[in-house]
Structure 1
Amino acid sequence: MAFPGLQHVAITVSDLERSTAWYTALFGAGPVLDEDEEGGRFHHTVFALDGGMLFGLHTHQGRESGETFDEQRTGLDHVGFACASHAELERWAQKLTDLGIAHEGVKKAHYGSGVSFRDPDNIALEFFAAPGS
């Protein structure tokens, strides 16, 4: 039996309104869902990405730690978005620049190339293209 692919990623944010605006600009589309979870434990705002993937922003009704994201802490290190080619990766780097989102340009390695950047909560994100693409 093949292991299933990822269907969604959800991250906790400190300011839902700010993060929703930031990700709307990055994704070029607004959320497809924005509601409180049935049990009232969290609120989620969800974006639909190509390929059926969902990307969610969560708040936990004021129970968030308030700490800044740190990939050196146990848990999430970063979220990587797949690019089909190096040319597409370059276009995303330019879009980040156009949006005023800080990044260090395309970095190449033997395992692929990427553009790393951070969201308003300092969560590490990356556009990534496999080698030879």
Structure 2
Amino acid sequence: MSKAQATTAALAAPPSQLTFSGLHHLKVPVSDLDASVAWYEKALRATVQGDLDHRDPEGNLFARMIQIPGLEVLLELRLAPKAAAATDGYDPITLQVDDLTHLRQWLDHLDAAGVRHSPELRSMIGFLLVVPDPDGLMIRIHTKPAASAELDSAGADHDSLWTTPPIMKRD
């Protein structure tokens, strides 16, 4: 089978076969790889997967893979200063904890570690806190919604700069 025939056959695959088996990893741009690794270790209890370090052909380290407890996928911290600056204030990652008790345990941990974070906030479907990484990327830690939970926009902390930083304004 030629390459063109293989491509045509692949495009003809029925939609039921076009599925994913999971999420491979997430990638976050950083401006200082060492500082970011240290922060993720301290703030989120991450561990470096040193055997997965990314190096260019000259041997220069440009990315590190970390494992955050409770997550099945790895997080890649990628040295990309311009991209890191562009994500300041953006919140692409929301981690989940079981309940408000666990969220408050994270608040205690972050306080003890001296990591800057929001106060406990109300979302439309639970509670959360926001933790900015060294480049200003906002990582949310959110309670798992109850099975019977309904969205409550009126009760959420929409006016907080932690939940709606200037970069996230719609106007």
TM bucket, shorter chain:
0.7 to 0.9
Q: Is the 8 A contact 2:91 2:140 kept in 1?
A: no
Equivalent residues in 2 for 1:2-17, closer than 5 Å: 5-17=22-34
Higher-Rg structure is: 2
Q: Give 1:128 shift.
A: 0.7
Find the counterpart in structure 2 of residue 67 from structure 1. Answer: 85
Find the counterpart in structure 2 of residue 98 from structure 1. Answer: 112
Pick from 74, 77, 97: which aligns with 2:91?
A: 77
Structure 1 or 2: more helix by fraction: 2
One-letter amino acid matched to 2:88 = D
Taking the aligned partners of 2:60 and 2:38, their CA distance within structure 1 comes to: 23
Closer, same or farther: CA 129–6 of 1 in aligned 2, 3 Å: farther
**Number of residue equivalences:** 126
Equivalent residues in 2 for 1:21-36, closer than 5 Å: 21-33=38-50, 34-36=53-55
Closer, same or farther: CA 38–70 of 1 in aligned 2, 3 Å: same
Identical-pair percentage? 23
**After superposition, what is the alpha-carbon deviation per residue over 1:94-123, rounded to whole angstroms, capped at 9, x for unaligned?**
111111122222112341211012011011
Q: Is the 8 A contact 2:94 2:140 kept in 1?
A: yes
Q: Is the 8 A contact 2:29 2:79 kept in 1?
A: yes
**What SS does the aligned partner of 1:67 have?**
helix
One-letter amino acid matched to 1:55 = L
Deviates more, 1:30-39 or 1:17-26: 30-39
* TM-score w.r.t. length of structure 1: 0.76
Structure 1 or 2: more strand by fraction: 1
Taking the aligned partners of 1:4 and 1:39, their CA distance within structure 2 comes to: 34
Find the counterpart in structure 2 of residue 20 from structure 1. Answer: 37
* TM-score w.r.t. length of structure 2: 0.61
Unmatched runs of 5 consecutive residues or more in structure 1: none
